[in-house]
Each structure stands twice: as C-alpha cells, then as structure tokens.
Structure 1
Amino acid sequence: MKTNHISIIALFLCLLISCKETKQKPNSKILDSSVTSSITKGTSLLDKCINAHGGIQKWRSFTGISYNLEEDGETVYQLTNIKDRRAYLKSNDYEVGFDGKVAWAKPDASKIPGKSAAFYYNLDFYFLGVPFLLKDAGVVATDEGTSVINGKNYETLKITFGSEIGLSPEDVYYLYLNPETFRLEILTYSVSYFKKENAQINSAKTYSEYKEVQGIMMPTKLENFEWKDGKLGKSTKHIRLFSDIQFLNKIPDQSIFKAPEGSVTESIN
C-alpha cells in the first residue's frame, strides 16, 4: 500500500494490465489530480465521483477519522489523521501505528495482515477513503468510458501513480461507478507490495450499505470477490464492516501516534 495515497490501501495492491472488461474511449482524458482544481468542478469523472460522496472540500475540512472495523468476529479501532496520515490501530491482540516516519506494531506484527505494520497501518483507511484520497498529489485518473460487468453498465476510472509515490507505485486501480449516482460500487486492484513481478488484477471489492456521516457518504460494508475476465465472481467471504464512523475536527491526544516502548518499527521510505 502507499503512504500519502491510498495505498487502499488500503486495503486500501508491476501490473500487467489487460482489462478486457473496459472499453476505452478514443478521446479519454488523463487527469493528474494535482491539477484538477483548475478545471471547472464536476467536469472530470473523478470530480463527479467525489462530489457524489460529499465533495473534497467537506472531506478536507476534517482533521481525522475514526471507526471500528469488524472482520471475522474481531474488532479493530482505527484512527487516522487525514491531514498527515499518522495512524493508530488497536485490537485485543495488537496495536499498530504510524508516527509520520516509521510504522510500528506492539508487541509485533505477527498477527496483523501481511505481518507488516508498514503494509497494514493505512490499508483499511485507504480503501475507505476512496475516492477522496485520489486527490493526493501524483495520482493520475483516466476516464476509461463505459464498462459492462455482470450485465450492468458502469462508468470507469483507471487510477495510476507517479513513480515516486508511495511504497508500491506500480499499483493500478479500476473504479466502477454507478452511471446515475456516480457513487463507487466496485473497485478492482492488485497487491504489488510484496510480489511486484507477479502482481495482476484478480480481486475486487464491492462498496455497499452507504451511510451519510457528517455530510460524507461512507460505505459501511466492503466485500471481496473473485475477479476474472472482467466479471465479478464468487465472494471470497472476506467482509469488512465499519461502524461508529466519526469525522474529527481535532485529535486531542497527538501522542497516540508515537511508537510506544517495546514496539517493533519499520521505516517508511
């Protein structure tokens, strides 16, 4: 995943892309999100998607976000500073965080996904923060036109990253938006963090059970599905449920992000 962009991730991911499901328009526009602010609001597909979820100004008006994540019967509390991406996560078995320079885990990373604090600390935040985090510098959004998935039409966004962005800039995401509401419904992706040479898009997440939280539309259920030849396959039974989502104007205890004594740290380059 990535520091300072979804690295969703994230889930919240050297791709060999051959997306048969996508029909690219000859004149599709490539928009670097760092310059989209100079474009009339709502003209790009990414802007339409972000506006459908509450708007980038609303998202950026908050300092932090907290929520409880439930997966396989385990609950993890997660807190992220939206401004600088420092993070703190806590379950019954571990604590994980990012202090702005190093990721850390206590007592260690053996029980967390990927067994890496650097991989995990912003994984769920990144996936939950899409599409807003796609406005990070270095993110490139391409309007890929209309795709048909399992008989339903979607507006399609391809997301790539600058070579110096994050820990796995090879990642490529595809966002499939409801053509009427422009709300995100399906996200396909790869995980190139561990094995870049083998990375390919073979997984998909569905976004559902949206709830308005302080003016922002947030999905409360993310479910993983098999993905092959442009089709959504069977559920992998990997379901993440989000509750008690809160946007924060202030994070009172900034020390919570610091690596505690006895934790194992990983540098973020």
Structure 2
Amino acid sequence: MRNYICITLLLVVFTACKQTTKPEEPVSSSEEKTIVLTKKYPKDLQNIFNAHGGIEAWKSMKSLAFTIEKPNGDEIISTNLNSREALLENPKTTIGFDGKKVWLLNKTSEKYKGSDPKYVYNLMFYFYAMPFVLSDDGINYANAEPLIFEGKTYPGIEITYNNDVGATPQDRYVLYYNSETYQMEWLGYTVSFIEGIDKKELHFRRYNDWKKVNGLMLPQSITGYAFKDDKPTEAKQTNVFKNIIITEKAFDSSKFSKPKNAKFID
C-alpha cells in the first residue's frame, strides 16, 4: 500500500511538472516579418540596407517629404510610402498621383513644357529613396561588374524588374557601394521615357552626402555626372535637398486628390 501511495505521488508530481513547463513561445508576426525581410535580399544588399539604418526601419515608415532647391523656385515632393500616392509642387505646376491616376495642375497661362507627368511625378522620389526603394516587389538582383572611378573600385549590384512592374519595367539600375562601409556611393541607371536617348546606356548619379533622419541615412545632395561607355566622367548638376521629413504616419489621401481645375493624364 505504501509503495502504491509513493508511486501515485510521483505520478502527480510528474504530471504537475509537465503542466507547468513553459510552452515554446510562437514567433510573433513582427519577428516573422523580420525573418522574411532578411531572407528576401542578397547578403550584400542586406549589408547596404543596414548601413543606411535597416530595411525594417524603412518598412515601418509611412510618409516621406523633402524640398529640392531650384533656381526658379523650390520643388516640394511628398509621398505615402505604401501606396506611393505622390505630390510634386513647384511655382509653375503641381503634379499628383492619387494611387490610380496621374493628374496635372498648370498654375500659369503658359502651356506645360515639362517631361511627361506620368514619369516625372515620382522620378526624384525614386532617386532620393535609394537604396531602400530597391527592396520593392518584382525586383531581380545580380552581381554587376565593379565601377572603377579615380582609382577606387566600387562593387555593384544590378537591379532589373519583372515585366509587370512599373511604367518602364525595362529599366536597369546598378547600385555601387563602398566595399568597407557598405554605404551606397553611385547609381547607374538607364533612361526609357525620353525619346532619342540610348535606352541601354548607363547614366550616373553620385551619393556622398548622407544625413540621419529618424534613424535612416538619407541624402542631402545627389550629383549627376556626365558619362561614356557605361562609366561616369565628370560632375555636372547637384540637387540639394532640405526640409527632409520621414515618419511612421501617412499623409491623408485627400492631399493627393485631383483639384477641380487639374486634368488627369492619360
């Protein structure tokens, strides 16, 4: 009888221990997202994202706005990062994208003479948001030939797009970076939307003036370069950026709605 009681007590204690053992905690949705983001990109590109504040930090942001200094008046560009709703405002025109269609508001009596609004409205946003916009869906990555400029070698990552991505999926980009710091230094890119320009030749912009804004490294200036044979030659125009704001709060969608006196662009 005594042995039976002892065995019974041991079983009770063993069962209680099993019941009080802490179960394995499930991976949270945020942790799952981090794992997915980490696995999605090539290692060198992950290192570049990390050098600029991290892809998880970028994905947590909802809006970006900045001002470009221009001789004929500053240009303000505002973007909702998830929907890519966008607004480009300058003294002569306002171009918007409401999430579905591009519209144009001409503020002068002169006929609009700029480039096609369908390509212009987010052009500088795309250059400015490097390298993080290279995390978008539908992108393919490959190693590129290094860029050698003024005796220094910059490794490269080539970016191409699936056929159903964007207005010009045939575009090609090459991100060149510092092999020690993984900071982005150059962008090579093709131009598809301007007639008379070789659509396969690389144009170049240089990034060497970064500023930390809300935890992310964003450019204060970007310099365009002359080019020949898929290589930069000499510095040309520099775009200077100010009033840079990136936040976890999106703009209200009404900001991007077409005004009554604006016209949709077909």
For Structure 1 versus Structure 2, the TM-score category normalised by the shorter chain is 0.7 to 0.9
Whether 2:207 is the aligned partner of 1:207: answer yes
Larger helix share, 1 or 2: 2
Greater Cα shift, 241-250 or 187-196: 187-196
Aligned to 2:78: 79
Aligned to 2:126: 126
Whether 2:145 is the aligned partner of 1:141: answer no
- Cα–Cα, structure 1 residues 41 and 94, in superposed 2: closer, same or farther, change >3 Å? closer
- Paired with 2:159 and 2:111, the residues of 1 have a C-alpha distance of 31
Q: Which amino acid aligns with 2:173?
A: Y
- Paired with 1:213 and 1:110, the residues of 2 have a C-alpha distance of 38
Give 1:72 shift: 3.3
Q: Which amino acid aligns with 2:57?
A: K
- On the 8 A contact 2:98/2:253 being kept in 1, the answer is no
- Cα–Cα, structure 1 residues 230 and 152, in superposed 2: closer, same or farther, change >3 Å? farther
TM-score for the superposition, normalised by structure 1: 0.78
Unaligned segments of structure 1, at least 5 residues:
1-35
- On the 8 A contact 1:170/1:196 being kept in 2, the answer is no
Query: Structure 2 matches for 1:158-237, cutoff 5 A?
Result: 158-195=158-195, 198-236=198-236
Q: How many residues align?
A: 230
Aligned to 2:62: 63
- On the 8 A contact 1:69/1:77 being kept in 2, the answer is yes
Give 1:142 shift: 1.0
Q: Which amino acid aligns with 1:44?
A: K
Give 1:93 shift: 1.2
- On the 8 A contact 2:102/2:118 being kept in 1, the answer is yes
- On the 8 A contact 2:171/2:192 being kept in 1, the answer is yes
- On the 8 A contact 1:186/1:206 being kept in 2, the answer is yes
Q: What secondary structure sits across from 2:261 in the alignment?
A: coil
- Paired with 2:203 and 2:176, the residues of 1 have a C-alpha distance of 13
Q: What secondary structure sits across from 1:198 in the alignment?
A: coil
Larger strand share, 1 or 2: 1
TM-score for the superposition, normalised by structure 2: 0.79
Aligned to 1:260: 259
- Cα–Cα, structure 1 residues 44 and 145, in superposed 2: closer, same or farther, change >3 Å? farther
Deviations 1:46-80 (A, max 9, x none): 11111111111101111101111113353111110
- Paired with 2:239 and 2:112, the residues of 1 have a C-alpha distance of 17
Question: What is the percent sequence identity of the aligned residues?
Answer: 30
Give 1:144 shift: 2.5
Give 1:232 shift: 2.1
Give 1:253 shift: 3.4
